[in-house]
Structure 1
Amino acid sequence: MVKLYALSVFRRAPEGGTVLLKGSYDLQSFGFFQRGSVQEFMTFTSQMLVERTQPGGRQSVKEQEYMCHVFVRADGLAAVLVSDAEYPHRVSHTLLTKAIEDCAAANDWKTANTETLRNYKALDVMLARYQNPKEADALTKIQAELDETKIIMHNTIEAVLERGEKLDDLVAKSEGLSSQSKMFYKTARKTNSCCNF
């Protein structure tokens, strides 16, 4: 099952170093006494990734069963998403872009810090909303629906082909049809064979 664990926004200083502006965490899958250490480790890893990513760059780094996705804008505003390895990369980077744009629009991020952004709850809402990528991302939802339709169509075509073979057997065994009717059926079957899969 896909899972998001953390979404954080950082300010990268031109002279070096990063400042955590706001972080949102969903650590319910970890033990109660582990959550503090896990959050601290995710924050440290996220900060390190921001420092090692070029301005204007994106990257995804895998560590065991976790993925860390990072996006650093050219002006120094950055976001990091920690997810499981199964979470779609495209949706992850869409969420990072949305988080950065929302944070920049809602706050003066160049002078902000964790204290001034204490009441900024948009990251919590985004982290909760994007837990299910099929519901949060329209393109992923459409792809899932197309995959489902494709499976249904494939099963339907297989059933029709099986029925066609059974009809062939019945026509061959039928004594009630004249030889002329059987010949007509075989000719029609050959003529329509171009449409079979």
Structure 2
Amino acid sequence: MKIYYIGIFKPLGTEKAIELTSVSDLSSFGYFERSSVGSFMKFFAETVVARTSAGQRQSVQQNKYMGHVYMRSEGVGAVILTDQEYQIRPAYGLLNKVLDEFISTYPPSQWSSITTAPNTSTFKMPSLDTYIKKYQDPSQADAIMRVQKELDETKIVLNKTIENVLKRGENLDSMVQKSETLGISSKIFYEQAKKTNSCCIIM
């Protein structure tokens, strides 16, 4: 079981979101793959969080990877990217914990008017580094923090593919080519990964 990425985002409409802070663990990928894989993780997270309504939780499957998303009514959302074996309860428990801590540390007045990606140190959360290490073991995570009762009573949209999340008429391939987040090498990597279906979150 593996957590690859934890990110906090502010959506801008229904097609774009900006990353406020994040942490990743790409140690399971080859050294020369990590930059491209990291770019696609961010792209995937931006795409899904922008299409998640306030108060909604959903899990999006892409090949052997899962993106778990929780959008708060305050206008900020969090994404955890894991493998398919990672259990859903601790994933959403961690999303709750991360968002509660972020909003407590940085109230909406500090980010509600932001329209461009901030400096990486603006909303620094050192605890994310701790969480991505500690919660690699979901059984330990679930013992440390009990998932709120609210989670059991809230419908979670499970096992959507990225195509189900996109709007009608949207195409992942064309979005990748138009993306300003992804560089030329990352776009080439996407095409290669799609053909080999082997190593990237976005296939």
CA-CA distance at 1:54 after TM superposition: 0.9
Q: Indicate if the aligned counterparts of 2:15 and 2:47 stay in contact, CA closer than 8 A.
A: no
Give the residue type in structure 1 aligned to 2:133.
A
TM-score, scaled relative to structure 2 = 0.63
Residue 8 of structure 2 is matched in structure 1 by: 9
3-state SS of paired residue (1:137): helix
Q: Indicate if the aligned counterparts of 2:93 and 2:145 stay in contact, CA closer than 8 A.
A: no
Give the residue type in structure 2 aligned to 1:31.
G
Q: Indicate if the aligned counterparts of 2:16 and 2:47 stay in contact, CA closer than 8 A.
A: no
3-state SS of paired residue (1:41): helix
Pair 80,110 (structure 1): closer, same or farther in 2 beyond 3 Å: farther
CA-CA distance at 1:117 after TM superposition: 3.1
Distance 2:131 2:142 in 1: 11
3-state SS of paired residue (2:110): coil
Distance 1:116 1:91 in 2: 27
Give the residue type in structure 1 aligned to 2:89.
R
- 1:35-80 C-alpha deviation (Å, 9 max, x unpaired): 0000100000000001111111000011111000000011211000
Say yes or no: does 1:34 pair with 2:33: yes
Q: Indicate if the aligned counterparts of 1:4 and 1:26 stay in contact, CA closer than 8 A.
A: yes
Question: What are the equivalent positions in structure 2 for 1:62-77 lying under 5 Å apart?
Answer: 62-77=61-76
Give the residue type in structure 2 aligned to 1:92.
A
Give the length in aligned residue pairs.
140
Distance 2:81 2:109 in 1: 24
Residue 82 of structure 1 is matched in structure 2 by: 81
Identity level (%): 34
Give the residue type in structure 2 aligned to 1:51.
A
Residue 187 of structure 2 is matched in structure 1 by: none
| Bigger helix fraction | 1
Q: Indicate if the aligned counterparts of 2:57 and 2:70 stay in contact, CA closer than 8 A.
A: yes
TM-score, scaled relative to structure 1 = 0.65
**Unmatched runs of 5 consecutive residues or more in structure 2:** 112-117, 147-203
Q: Indicate if the aligned counterparts of 2:2 and 2:83 stay in contact, CA closer than 8 A.
A: yes
CA-CA distance at 1:116 after TM superposition: 4.1
Higher relative contact order (CA 8 A, sep 6+): 2
- CA RMSD in angstroms comes to 2.2
Of 135, 143, 146 in structure 2, the residue corresponding to residue 138 of structure 1 is 143
Residue 19 of structure 2 is matched in structure 1 by: 20
Q: Which has the larger radius of gyration?
A: 1
Residue 99 of structure 1 is matched in structure 2 by: 98
Pair 42,119 (structure 1): closer, same or farther in 2 beyond 3 Å: same
